[in-house]
């Protein structure tokens, strides 16, 4: 049991900036962006929950700011004088913060997800770029908009010229433009070659996509040169080009197979370095574009990475308590399996393996953490001994492991469910009957039943190695949950719902099965398969019953997700917990029911105290 006394042993970072009613936090949030102060002394890491400041030389933690009143952060940058930072979030809000005090100084409301933010050289203006194709120039002192321009696609970058006279914008519409800061007039346009493809779906819908587009831009320190780098989404090569600012003419370019992610110039204006996804930078001479490989080591060293305890996962944490309640296990897509000691709050084990998209996790009868993850064409069973086993299933969507770890189930876009013997990897049964893709799978506690849920049919077309998906209102939706007999593979019952079932869970005593649809949770009697109870909740992302089956925890989704605790016997809402900044991907009770762990898309895990509500039973 976690007590106030044992909390005193927790690391400071686990206890600061906690939401109301939360006892502790694990994780610092998934990394969205990083920025180094102009004086080189401070590193800012924008995670999905706030900005973490570190000593850039030692990685020592300094403070956290921009936590309250922000959405999921997407960008961060320092002011030229090192005293302020600007942040952008997924909701289109840019904010200005005082580094010393953590005070919010100003707010700038944009129309969509913020992709890029930049200060003018004198620190008096702020430029923002958004996903919907807008770039806006703001006056910091007055908090007002100076002017706004619009591209035909996402604006990937905004950068001021060194003298502050021009603002450059780069866009996925394959153009970069130089704008007069005072007037907003277009002074120059640089064009990259487009790679447009037409995608025709079977339903008759047609769309056009540019598989290239300018992904990054930069000025040289002397302002004479301007560089643009392509993004690449297909197997067609892209370009990075160096331009003469005065004439607007290209000086040289080179091709590459991966997207350019950033461009930087040396302070003496002699070299330009272009970074690509997962590669060392390509360094070239400004004079003639020839390779300058001897400089690569320096450029790589100058790239400051966030501390190792900041994950870069795309999805939220999946959480589970050990059977004795002493440990909490969690995994995030593309990240390591981590196990924490509940009494001390310390990370006692980290398994460095790429777990991909974890879909289910539990503890084996022997007390080892195990789980299954979704790959592209297979499910992978893994454990904390770093052993993995693959189960093939083309276009897989969902996976599950039985509580006794004997079975693995996989479901895909082929509308089929494969039931596997985990130990022998033998395919035991193929279950058919759904009319849509298999979205969710869950085993009953006694391992006698498997439940599957269907979803919306998605059209998929492939062009140049890129898959395009169409999910329209006209597509068929499988609105059923099906219960299967594991021993013989027979379908026991089909349960109709008003829409696609988001998730499903059994109570520990096998008395109820809960299904979630939109803002409702339905409780089904597992003896009669009749719907007994309907709970009107918020939109559901995750579900879990308490160990004694008294409570049902509902993890929400949406802009202000909450965790709701319902008393199953009285059908009353007991308490709501708020703190996650996005979807509550997973919820888990400790074996004694005194703690609730929640893992969020924001990249953090919270522990909530359930003791006050147990005492009221």
Rounded CA-CA distance 168/159 in Å is: 5
CA distances from 479 to 75, 372, 436, 453, 515 (A): 39, 25, 9, 8, 11
Instruction: Identify the burial level of 199 via C-beta atoms within 10 angstroms of its C-beta, where 0-12 means exposed, 13-18 middle and 19 or more buried.
Output: middle
CATH domain 1-28+311-315+338-348+510-524+536-617 topology: Methylamine Dehydrogenase; Chain H (2.130.10)
Task: Determine the pLDDT at residue 48.
Answer: 84
Task: Determine the pLDDT at residue 560.
Answer: 80
Q: DSSP label at 307?
A: P
Q: DSSP label at 302?
A: H
Q: What are phi and psi of 84, to 5 degrees?
A: -135, 160
Task: Determine the pLDDT at residue 471.
Answer: 73
Task: Determine the pLDDT at residue 14.
Answer: 87
How far does Cα 560 stand from its chain's mean position?
16
Task: Determine the pLDDT at residue 71.
Answer: 84
Q: Which of 76, 88, 153, 143 is nearest to 114 (CA)?
A: 88
| Residue 20: Cβ within 10 Å count | 7
Q: 617: which 2 tokens?
A: 């039973």
Rounded CA-CA distance 505/444 in Å is: 8
Instruction: Identify the burial level of 469 via C-beta atoms within 10 angstroms of its C-beta, where 0-12 means exposed, 13-18 middle and 19 or more buried.
Output: exposed
Rounded CA-CA distance 160/119 in Å is: 8
Rounded CA-CA distance 604/600 in Å is: 6
Task: Determine the pLDDT at residue 300.
Answer: 45
CATH domain 151-306 topology: Methylamine Dehydrogenase; Chain H (2.130.10)
Indicate the domain borders of the chain: 1-28+311-315+338-348+510-524+536-617, 151-306, 356-501
Contact call for residues 295 and 283 (beta carbons, < 8 A): yes
Q: What are phi and psi of 5, to 5 degrees?
A: -65, -45
Task: Determine the pLDDT at residue 269.
Answer: 95
- β-strands 327-331, 318-321 pairing: antiparallel
Task: Determine the pLDDT at residue 143.
Answer: 93
151-306 matches 356-501 in fold: yes
Please tell me whether residue 20 adopts helix, strand or coil conformation. coil
pLDDT in tens, 512-540: 999 999 999 999 999 999 999 999 998 99
CATH homologous superfamily of 356-501 equals YVTN repeat-like/Quinoprotein amine dehydrogenase (2.130.10.10)
Which segments in the chain show pLDDT lower than 50? 295-297, 300-301
Rounded CA-CA distance 519/556 in Å is: 9
């Amino acid at each position: 049991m976690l007590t106030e006394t044992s909390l005193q042993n927790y690391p400071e970072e686990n206890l600061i900036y906690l939401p109301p009613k939360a006892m502790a936090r694990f994780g610092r949030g998934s990394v969205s962006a990083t920025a180094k102060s102009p004086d080189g002394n401070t590193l800012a890491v924008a995670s999905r929950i706030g900005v973490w400041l570190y000593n850039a030389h030692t990685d020592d933690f300094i403070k956290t700011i921009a936590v309250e009143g922000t959405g999921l952060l997407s960008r961060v940058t320092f002011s030229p004088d090192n005293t302020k930072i600007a942040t952008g979030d997924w909701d289109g809000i840019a904010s200005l913060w005082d580094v010393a005090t953590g005070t919010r100084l100003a707010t700038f409301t944009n129309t969509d997800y913020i992709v890029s933010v930049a200060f003018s050289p004198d620190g008096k203006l702020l430029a923002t770029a958004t996903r919907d194709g807008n770039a806006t120039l703001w006056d910091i002192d007055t908090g007002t908009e100076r002017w706004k321009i619009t591209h035909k696609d996402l604006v990937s970058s905004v950068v001021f010229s060194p003298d502050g006279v021009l603002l450059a914008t780069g866009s996925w519409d394959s153009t970069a433009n130089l704008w007069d800061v005072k007037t907003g007039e277009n002074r120059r346009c640089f064009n990259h070659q487009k790679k447009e493809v037409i995608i025709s779906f079977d339903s008759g819908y047609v769309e056009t996509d540019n598989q290239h587009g300018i992904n990054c831009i930069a000025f040289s320190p002397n302002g004479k040169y301007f560089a643009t780098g392509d993004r690449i989404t297909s197997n067609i090569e892209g370009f990075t080009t160096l331009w003469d600012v005065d004439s607007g003419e290209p000086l040289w370019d080179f091709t590459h197979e991966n997207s350019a992610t950033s461009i930087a110039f040396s302070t003496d204006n002699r070299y330009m370095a272009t970074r690509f996804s997962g590669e060392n930078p390509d360094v070239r001479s400004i004079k003639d574009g020839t390779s300058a490989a001897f400089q690569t080591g320096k450029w790589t060293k100058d790239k400051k990475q966030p501390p190792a305890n900041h994950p870069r996962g795309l999805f939220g944490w999946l959480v589970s308590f050990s059977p004795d309640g002493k440990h909490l296990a969690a995994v995030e897509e593309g990240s390591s399996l981590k196990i924490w000691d509940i009494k001390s709050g310390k990370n006692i084990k980290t398994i460095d393996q790429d777990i991909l998209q974890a879909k289910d996790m539990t503890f084996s009868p022997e007390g080892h953490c195990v789980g299954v993850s979704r790959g592209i064409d297979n499910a992978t069973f893994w454990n904390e001994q770093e052993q993995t086993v693959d189960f093939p299933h083309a276009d897989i969507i969902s996976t599950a492991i039985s509580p006794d770890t004997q079975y693995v189930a996989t479901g895909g876009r082929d509308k089929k469910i494969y039931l596997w013997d985990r130990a022998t990897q033998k395919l035991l049964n193929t279950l058919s009957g759904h009319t849509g893709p298999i979205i969710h799978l869950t085993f009953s506690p006694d391992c006698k039943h498997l439940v599957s849920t269907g979803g919306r049919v998605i059209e998929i077309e492939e062009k140049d190695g890129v898959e395009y998906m169409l999910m329209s209102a006209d597509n068929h939706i499988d609105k059923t949950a099906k219960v299967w007999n594991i021993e013989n593979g027979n379908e026991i019952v089909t349960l109709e719902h008003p829409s696609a079932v988001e998730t499903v869970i059994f109570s520990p005593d096998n008395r109820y099965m809960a299904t979630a649809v939109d803002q409702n949770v339905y409780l089904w009697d597992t003896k009669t398969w009749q719907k007994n109870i309907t709970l009107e909740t918020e939109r559901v992302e995750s579900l879990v019953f308490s160990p004694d089956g008294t409570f049902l925890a509902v993890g929400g989704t949406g802009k202000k997700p909450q965790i709701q605790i319902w008393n199953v016997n009285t059908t009353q809402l007991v308490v709501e917990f708020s703190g996650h900044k996005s979807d509550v991907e997973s919820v888990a009770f400790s074996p004694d029911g005194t703690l609730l762990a929640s893992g969020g898309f924001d990249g953090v895990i919270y522990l909530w105290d359930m003791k006050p509500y147990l005492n009221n039973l």
